[in-house]
Amino acid sequence: MPLPSPTLATQQTQRPSSAWTAWGQWLALITMTVDHVTRYLLPGSWDAGWASSSIGRIAFPLFAGMVAWHGLFNTRDPLRYARRILIIGLVAQLPYMTMPRDGFQLNITFTLALGLIWGTWLRDLSRRSGVDADAPLQTPLLIGGSLVLWWLLGSWVEYGHLGLLLVPLYMFALQALSQPSHALAERLMAAGAALPVLLVAGLMNSSDMAKSFTVATTLFVLLMAAGAASRIPRITPGARMPRKLWLAWYPAHFAVIAILLHWPR
């Protein structure tokens, strides 16, 4: 797991505009719902798998990008934010478990929350290493221990080991890209910070179509941090997603799918 450089980790993170996330919420919920309806409800004779392999591949990298973004720029307590995500996941887990799949699996909110916890911990560890004289000896052991936990937990969550990497790598890249840089070397380092998250995004899917949508979505989030966020207009108050809808949609839509899927015919 790459860590931010001491310079990037110790300076105050810039706060770019977050207007794009209000649009991103609608896009994430719509594409996630298309994916799940296509996967679980539509009969195979409809041959609608293309929707899950294209539109449906936007949702997870977009959710992960917004979680990393808010964890870095819009909350003073990322761990509290992660706990709220876990609460949503606990509510959604029961209807999620009724979906057809092989074996037990924790839903995607656990992937996002655990990734945020890991990314926040790595960022704090990197900051402490710049001021603590004993950190150079402790840091490799602590990172090694976290990698063991990553390996153990990866088999239990949706999107697996690669999914758990996405939020921490996003945080690394977004922090680097959002910092003002003038020297060529700094700009090249910031661009290089984006490569790991793009690589992981490309590896998460097998088909070329799914890879292209996932990588394109990830690149979009990275461009927001690189300065494009300032060009996104704010959503009108009437079009802003209600908070209750945002919090309830994930467990609620699984509950509706579960009822439709298992309703006696």
Helix runs in 154-183, H state only: 160-178
Domain-wise residue ranges, the chain: 12-262
CA 245, chain centre distance (Å): 19
Q: Does 101 or 112 have the greater pLDDT score? A: 112
The predicted-structure confidence for 114-136, as pLDDT tens digits, reads as follows: 999 999 999 998 887 765 555 56
**Could you give the maximum distance between any two Cα atoms of the chain, in Å?**
68
Structure token pair of residue 30: 């719509």
Distance CA 191, CA 179 (A): 11
Give me the residues paired with residue 106 across strands: 157
| H-run or E-run covering 150 | helix 135-153
The predicted-structure confidence for 48-91, as pLDDT tens digits, reads as follows: 788 888 999 999 999 999 999 999 999 999 999 999 999 999 99
pLDDT at 180: 80
pLDDT at 66: 98
Distance CA 123, CA 167 (A): 12
pLDDT (mean) for 172-177: 94
Q: How confident is the model at residue 11 (pLDDT cuts 50, 70, 90)?
A: very low
Q: How confident is the model at residue 262 (pLDDT cuts 50, 70, 90)?
A: confident
Distance CA 30, CA 249 (A): 10
Q: Are the C-beta atoms of residues 106 and 158 closer than 8 Å to each other?
A: yes
